Amino acid sequence: MLEKIFKLKVHNTTVWQEALGGIITFLTMAYIIFVQPNVLGLAPSNVAGEPNMNSGAIMMATCLSAALATFLMAFLANFPIALAPGMGENFLFLTVAGMTVGGATLGWQGALTAVLFSGVIFLVLSFFKVREKIINSIPDSLKHAIAVGIGLFISFLGLVWSGIIRKPATGGIIEIGNFKQPAVLLSVFGLIIIAGFMSRKIKGGILLGMLAATVVGIIFNIIEYHGITSSPPSMAPTLFKFDFSLFLTLDFIVIAIIFLFMDMFDTVGTLIGVTSQAGLIDKNGNIPRCGRALLSDAVGTVSGSMMGTSTVTSFIESSAGIAAGARTGLASVVTGLLFVAAIFFSPLVSTVGGGVITDSGVLYPITGPVMIIVGCMMMKGVTKIKWDDFDDAIPAFLIIIGMPLTFTIHNGIALGFIAYPILKLFAGKGKEVSLLSYILGLLFLAYFIIRQIIVL
């Protein structure tokens, strides 16, 4: 049966090889189970007096949406690619939830609605094969800059969450943290351990480093131990909790478009990289069953928003499983089953992802170091930007520097997309700019102007 479904012999693989690859892929990306509730759990409600987004429900949505999307990838596309709520998209979700639109906080309910809307658009584009054309019309320099900028933004937050840097109490922008605090020392220990494992190319190094830091934190009474297993948490606090009150307003549309493009960039980049590594690209340079793979991603995003989590996307960590021999969707089935099993470990998630109250505020000594490492992993695209061509370099730089310094992902993206067509026109290269890039630049410029008018 497995041979018939996944064509193991054609791909020169075995059941054991696929199982091992699926397990390793899960181990390399399982950190999202701990990080996602930590990030989205900070998202405020748009209803006064209601608590932030429920962490237990977020964990359930993360595991189940990841499992569903990964199963779809397995059976529709037969690719050894796993999906889950993406890093970067979750921080955009947090930023959006805190935005004030029309005098009211958008809240996590509004952010979930934007994710749903972007997922539906994504689904339609996947059916009509428009997505690839849109991706190809966006300049490569801006695609790479977005990934790098998000990496810097995530690393900056990781340094703050770890307590390694902090806002000065006496005024100023930023300063070094207080290394006399046990939580900060635990963060440094976790960062060193994870970096060491990654340097040694140990499979699942991020997860193993997190668990090592957790054990040390429990032994020295820095973090609170909540147990390991329990009944799965309820999904009721986030299930179908949409807010359509701002549907199709300018702010909402811009936010949904940004969610859409971030998902596009992540998925297409991952598909190209992973299928190339696995030798799955055909002789014409095309990805077989690409439409089915994109459909899996789109359905994952829609279902994830319904459950209560941010954009679901393909994970580049799938390359670890491929390096171990995975070549078919059977590996994805194994990864998906492990995500389902993870829903019974919510106490462990609370132990790993829980905050520690210190004099510097709430710190996250286990997940903070992960943010720094993930940010580092996202920096490699900086080498692909044409730094000698300033009409490419300056818009890319504005995106990269704009995200951490404006403390929002979408503002950084907007700066680059506005600058790109303007500088190309100044350089006499206006014909190199796609029509869509001009449209996006004008939309972002209009967005900034209208936002300023509303604020003023």
Out of 380, 400, 435, a domain closes at: 380
B/e letters for 328-359, b = 16+ CB within 10 Å, e = fewer, are bbbbbbbbbbbbbebbebbebbbbbbbbbebe
Q: What is the extent of the structural domain holding 100?
A: 2-380
Q: DSSP characters for 411-451?
A: HHHHHHHHHHHHHHHHTT-GGGS-HHHHHHHHHHHHHHHHH
Contacts of 257 (CB under 8 A, 6+ apart): 118, 443
Closest CA to 432 of 141, 160, 185: 141
Q: How many CA atoms lie within 13 A of 182 on its CB side?
A: 11
449/328 same-domain check: no
Out of 335, 357, 380, a domain closes at: 380
Q: Are 184 and 178 in contact (CB under 8 A)?
A: yes
Residue length of the chain: 456
Q: Which helix (H) or strand (E) holds 392?
A: helix 390-406
21/66 same-domain check: yes
What gap in Å lies between CA 149 and CA 406, rounded to an integer?
A: 11
15/77 same-domain check: yes
374/398 same-domain check: no
The tens-digit pLDDT sequence of the chain (456 residues) is 888 888 888 878 888 888 888 887 887 688 888 889 888 998 988 887 788 899 889 999 999 999 999 999 999 988 888 999 987 788 888 888 888 766 677 889 988 998 998 889 888 887 776 766 665 667 778 878 877 887 888 788 889 889 999 888 777 788 999 999 999 999 999 999 999 998 998 877 877 888 899 999 999 999 888 888 888 989 999 999 888 877 767 777 778 887 887 777 667 666 766 776 677 766 665 677 777 888 888 899 999 999 999 989 888 778 767 876 788 889 999 999 999 998 998 788 778 767 788 877 778 888 788 878 878 877 888 888 889 999 999 999 999 999 888 877 767 888 998 999 999 999 999 988 888 888 878 877 877 776 665 443
- Could you count the other beta carbons within 10 Å of the beta carbon of residue 451? 16
Specify the number of domains making up the chain.
2
Helices (H), 163-204: 182-199
Q: Which helix (H) or strand (E) holds 15?
A: helix 15-29
7/106 same-domain check: yes
* pTM reported for the whole predicted model: 0.73
15/159 same-domain check: yes
Q: How far is CA 120 from CA 138, 200, 249, 269, 302, in A?
A: 21, 41, 17, 21, 6
Query: Which residues share a beta bridge with 312?
Result: 85
End-to-end CA distance of the chain: 65
What gap in Å lies between CA 163 and CA 22, rounded to an integer?
A: 35
69/155 same-domain check: yes
374/447 same-domain check: no
48/123 same-domain check: yes
Angle between helix 409-426 and 140-162 (nearest 10): 150
345/438 same-domain check: no
Out of 380, 401, 427, a domain closes at: 380
201/232 same-domain check: yes
221/92 same-domain check: yes
